[in-house]
Amino acid sequence: MAVYNYIARDNTNARFAGTYRDVQSAAELREQLAKMGYTLLSAKKQKIRKPRRERVKPADVAQFAYKLAGMVGTGLSIIRCLETIEEQTDNSTFRYIICDVRENIETGASLREAFGRHPKIFNDFFLGMIEAGEHSGKIGHTLEICAGYLEKQLEIRRKVQSAFAYPTVVGIMALGVVSALVIFIVPTFSNLYQKLHVPLPGPTRMLVFVSDAARHYSWILMLIIAGLLIFSKKIAASRRIKIRWDFLKLHLPMFARLNRMVVVARFIRTFAMLTSMGVPMLDALRVAARVADNTLFTDISEQIQQSIQSGNTVASSFRVHEIFPPIIIQLASSGEEAGVLAEMLNKGVDILEKDINRTISSLLVKLEPMLTMIMGLVVGSILLAVYLPMFDYMAHLQ
């Protein structure tokens, strides 16, 4: 459907202008106006300009899913629901995307195809749930489950980010303090020592060199930092680098256990949700591997699929891989025996998420004193290098 700006004439030959929505062509617009007793004089299709780019957050997508689920549950058509949500959306980029989805559905595309045109906004899990709901005829129920899942993922992400918030703040503070010392304090003492002709020890000479470089060649430093940022973004797109980085995240000291639990929880929750909505098990495993966002799980998922195709159970297929906690394997085994695999796996993920909360709290307890000590050592080392010549000078005076 398109939007037309038109000029028409009424029965008294008076001209007027207006805007008409939801027509496919100027001919259809002419017919619609004729039914109202008007004569179309001219029509121009309104161009829909893509808005300035605004970030669409995962929270926006979760909120959208809740709204759409609630409106579909009242019996409204998908088109009408999308129109209403589009009008209520403040984010211009997201509003444009919803409009594009609606227009594609109006032209005959399936829900999966319409939402699939925006993979950066609607991830594989969302698309899989949409497809499952479309096939089962329970799109409202499916969207509600999808929104709940997205909200849980956001909660886990916030908790993990909170574990890194304190180190980030301490790091920024340490950088600010060190920069102030190097740029403002060190030059003052350097000039004083030159006037007093005090010989500088090695640590102080190195500190003075760093201070001079920071004050006189800061533009070179900024260029180097910018170059490193650009280079890091390019190499981050390399699959080889991503594989190594994903492996490193699962083996980092202190953070390995937390990262493993987060990735496993994401994988298992996605697999359980999709299978509960009737998605074939092998398809659910493929989608879960992509949602896990770790290249290691691509290989693990393929191996599990091959194991299941060979006639093995889900629990025995999981047991081969050490990354899955025993509680997940035990609950998967119980769920298969009772015919409630998805429910049992979801319970297992709930237990994992509680363990994630405890791990984050434990990490914070360890990180806070450690980072405070490191910050103190850095600042203390700089101050010691600044005052070393003063101590030598006072010793000579005595």
Number of residues assigned to the chain:
398
Burial of residue 309 (number of CB atoms within 10 Å: 0-12, 13-18, 19+): exposed
Tell whether the model's pLDDT for residue 235 goes beyond 80: no
pLDDT at 223 (0 to 100)? 86
Mean pLDDT of the chain: 84
Tell whether the model's pLDDT for residue 344 goes beyond 60: yes
The alpha carbon dihedral of 320, 322, 326, 329 has a sign of negative
Under the banding of pLDDT at 50, 70 and 90, the label for residue 347 is very high
For residue 244, give both structure tokens. Answer: 């190594």
pLDDT at 12 (0 to 100)? 82
Provide mean pLDDT across the span 141-151: 87
Label each residue of the chain as H, E or C. CEEEEEEEECCCCCEEEEEEEEECCHHHHHHHHHHCCCEEEEEEECCCCCCCCCCCCHHHHHHHHHHHHHHHHCCCCHHHHHHHHHHHCCCHHHHHHHHHHHHHHHCCCCHHHHHHCCCCCCCHHHHHHHHHHHHHCCHHHHHHHHHHHHHHHHHHHHHHHHHHHHHHHHHHHHHHHHHHHHHHHHHHHHHHHHHHCCCCCHHHHHHHHHHHHHHHCHHHHHHHHHHHHHHHHHHHCCHHHHHHHHHHHCCCCCCHHHHHHHHHHHHHHHHHHHHHCCCCHHHHHHHHHHHHCCHHHHHHHHHHHHHHHCCCCHHHHHHCCCCCCHHHHHHHHHHHHHCCHHHHHHHHHHHHHHHHHHHHHHHHHHHHHHHHHHHHHHHHHHHHHHHHHHHHHHHHHC
Q: Are the C-beta atoms of residues 116 and 127 closer than 8 Å to each other?
A: yes
pLDDT at 245 (0 to 100)? 83
Provide mean pLDDT across the span 355-365: 83
Exposure string for 126-164, b = 16+ CB within 10 A, e = fewer: bbbbbbbbeeeebbbebbbbbbebbebbeebeebbeebe
Q: Note the pLDDT tens digit of each residue in 183-220.
A: 888 888 888 878 777 778 888 888 888 888 878 777 78
Tell whether the model's pLDDT for residue 62 goes beyond 60: yes
Q: Note the pLDDT tens digit of each residue in 247-293.
A: 888 888 878 888 899 899 989 998 998 888 888 899 889 988 888 88
φ/ψ of residue 147, rounded to 5:
-65, -40
Under the banding of pLDDT at 50, 70 and 90, the label for residue 67 is very high
Q: Note the pLDDT tens digit of each residue in 81-112.
A: 998 998 888 888 899 899 889 888 877 788 98
Residue with tokens 């994988």: 267
Q: N- to C-terminal Cα distance for the chain?
A: 92
pTM for the full model? 0.69
The alpha carbon dihedral of 286, 290, 295, 300 has a sign of negative
Provide mean pLDDT across the span 293-322: 92
Q: Report d(CA 373, CA 376) in Å as an integer.
A: 5
Under the banding of pLDDT at 50, 70 and 90, the label for residue 398 is low
Provide mean pLDDT across the span 5-24: 78
More confident position, 49 or 116: 116
Provide mean pLDDT across the span 110-118: 90
pLDDT at 365 (0 to 100)? 79
